[in-house]
Structure 1
Amino acid sequence: MDVLSDVLIALRTGQPSAARSSSHAPWGVRFHRGPAAGCHVVLEGSCWLLSDHGEPRRLSTGDVLFTPHGDGHSLADHPDSPIVDFQPESHGSEPLGGMRIDGAGPVTELLCAYYWFDPDRPHPLLAELPAMIHVPARVGQHPSLRATVELLGQEVADQRPGTEAAVRALIDMLLLYVLRAWLDEQPDGQPGWATALRDPAITTALRQVHRHPEKPWTVEDLAAVAGLSRAAFAKRFTTIIGQPPLTYLTWWRMTTAARLLRETDEPLRAIAARCGYASEYAFSKAFKRAYDAAPGSYRTALKRTA
């Protein structure tokens, strides 16, 4: 498994959800700040993005807007149009929530998707993302993203048996392709995950940490895997990732442990072994230091709120 896929699988919680809006001008919709990352796709027409992160920005058919940190913003047919709060309604047999604003003007069709990430362990890659990522629909650029947007539009417009499963899968793909588009546009040589995922030595070491968190890794071991000297690897990893190799290893082990506690019924001793701890006591101590809760209490609390 590659590092980006692994990060998304480990940090996602629950299923993504989506809502479709059909709005005739004049219209405006406010999306309040919240815990979920949002992704808007303009399926038909155009609109304006209004936020505290810059001047109003026009979005056209095929454009994608990603708000990774859940920042509040509004979408409207015109910057001066009246704005209402987003309140999607579920229509029972339909797989998507929906919102409709009637008017006399041109229509804008939007698909708004939401993703939930583990709020206790935001991955450094996600933390690097800006508040708003706008990926315009430019001919010849990001063909996989464009194809996903087109398929989403078709599924939303012509809902058939299997649409719910298709939309969820496509929403997952949408997130991946948006992140790829952003990563591809970042300059080379800057510290951060865009550089890390292009660096063969660092990527090789990260892949081994992600695949085998149970191994008793040392800096020397990871340097050997990366094909570098210990000193060169430690400096390069720390500069690019922003933390030393073994600090990231511990962080990933705890993130993996939380996912296993959340998604499985494996006993604590098995999770401890899978995360590189020889004893349940050592694992519990490390987990409590990271999450301020013992593993058993953490799992019980999740089940209580499920």
Structure 2
Amino acid sequence: MDVVSDAISAVHLGHPRSHRVWADGDWCTRVDAFQGAGFYVVLKGNCWLLTDSGESISLDAGAAVLLPHGAGHVVAARPNDAETARRKAVPFERWLAESGSERAGTEVLCGRYRLDCSRMHPLLTELPEVVHLPHRVGRNPELRAAIDLLAGELDRRRPGSCVALPSLLDLLLVYLIRSWMGEATRGSWPGALGDPVTAAALRAMHSAPAAPWTNDRLAAEAGVSRATLARRFTAHVGRPPTAYLTWWRLILAAGQLRDTAATLATIATRVGYGSPYALSHAFEREFGTTPGRYRTLAAERSASAGAGSRATASVS
């Protein structure tokens, strides 16, 4: 696994949701802040995105937007000030229910990913509130291809679409993040993955997190001295290599507790701890709770989120 794949997999929950909406006139819809990430792709026409923090973005045909932290926002046919937007906006579910026909002037592909935001990878936490990727001919061809495939799948609902749609939505998320990293002018993680020494150490740890890594072994993987690895890795990532490895192992353990019924002993072996006791001690120090309690709370949150999804399924 590479860092971006691991970062997404560690927080991804359940299946994403998507909608294709047609709208005409002076429409305006509101989405409250939520736990997860949302996206919009303008397939036809144009519209505006206004976040609760006051950022206002014009979206033309072909533009893609990712809201990686679930920021509250308004999407509207025309630019509005914050007060006007709040007054005019209808709830998102109502906007979906009132979607027009293919003859409408604006066509938007939108959706939402459920994420466990309790311990996100720093690569994801440093994403800006809004990742805006305007349509430019020749830019981000993989992203454009994914958008075309997704729009076509939603349009026809062919055999196998129940498998194809979630996979294409996951692919869209990867391409949105990858496109941002390719164009980012700030943030430490694009630099970390662009630095051959840091990237080599990260690749080694993410490929085999349970391996008995030491600073010397990681330095050998990167082809540099131990001191050089420590200096460059810490400068880019914000913590030394072995400290990052410890943190990442505990994030993997949390995911195993959340998503599987594996015993603590099995999980300890999978993530590189010598005993369940050693994992439990480190886990409680990082998360402030025991592995057993964490698993119980994660199951309760999942059940609650599932009930909420079933309650709103009729408007999807």
TM-score by length of 2: 0.87
Give CA deviations for 1:26-77 in whole Å, capped at 9, x if unaligned.
1011111111111111122211112245553221122111011111111111
Give CA deviations for 1:207-259 in whole Å, capped at 9, x if unaligned.
11112222232222211211111111101001001111111111100111011
The 3 A distance-change label for structure 1 pair 298 and 143 is same
Q: Are positions 1:240 and 2:246 aligned together?
A: no
Cα contact 2:21–2:100 (8 A) shared by 1: no
- Shift in Å, 1:106: 4.7
Cα contact 1:22–1:99 (8 A) shared by 2: no
Partner of 1:11: 11
Q: Measure, in 1, the Cα distance between the counterparts of 2:67 and 2:124.
A: 11
Q: Measure, in 2, the Cα distance between the counterparts of 1:191 and 1:137.
A: 23
Cα contact 2:41–2:62 (8 A) shared by 1: yes
| Structure 1 residue matching 2:269: 3-state secondary structure | helix
Give the structure with the higher percent helix.
2
Where do residues 272-287 of structure 1 align in structure 2 (5 Å cutoff)?
272-287=268-283
- Shift in Å, 1:164: 2.8
The 3 A distance-change label for structure 1 pair 218 and 55 is closer
Q: Measure, in 2, the Cα distance between the counterparts of 1:102 and 1:270.
A: 52
- Shift in Å, 1:99: 3.4
Q: CA RMSD of the aligned region, Å?
A: 2.1
- Shift in Å, 1:7: 1.8
1:85 to 76, 88, 91: 91
Cα contact 2:197–2:233 (8 A) shared by 1: no
Partner of 1:141: 139
Deviating more after overlay: 144-153 vs 214-223: 214-223
Q: Measure, in 1, the Cα distance between the counterparts of 2:55 and 2:207.
A: 43
Partner of 1:94: none
Unaligned runs of 5+ in 1: 90-97
| Structure 2 residue matching 1:228: 3-state secondary structure | coil
Q: Measure, in 2, the Cα distance between the counterparts of 1:75 and 1:192.
A: 30
- Opposite residue 29 of structure 1, the aligned amino acid is T
Q: Measure, in 2, the Cα distance between the counterparts of 1:275 and 1:150.
A: 39
Cα contact 2:52–2:71 (8 A) shared by 1: no
What is the percentage of aligned positions where both structures have the same residue? Answer: 44
Partner of 1:92: none
Q: Measure, in 2, the Cα distance between the counterparts of 1:279 and 1:161.
A: 47
| Structure 1 residue matching 2:93: 3-state secondary structure | coil
Q: Measure, in 1, the Cα distance between the counterparts of 2:282 and 2:295.
A: 15
Q: Measure, in 2, the Cα distance between the counterparts of 1:179 and 1:11.
A: 14
TM-score by length of 1: 0.90
- Shift in Å, 1:298: 1.7
Q: Measure, in 1, the Cα distance between the counterparts of 2:235 and 2:246.
A: 18
Where do residues 139-288 of structure 1 align in structure 2 (5 Å cutoff)?
139-187=137-185, 192-288=188-284
Q: Measure, in 2, the Cα distance between the counterparts of 1:79 and 1:129.
A: 25
Q: Measure, in 2, the Cα distance between the counterparts of 1:50 and 1:288.
A: 40
Q: Measure, in 1, the Cα distance between the counterparts of 2:218 and 2:240.
A: 12
Deviating more after overlay: 248-257 vs 52-61: 52-61
Partner of 2:45: 45
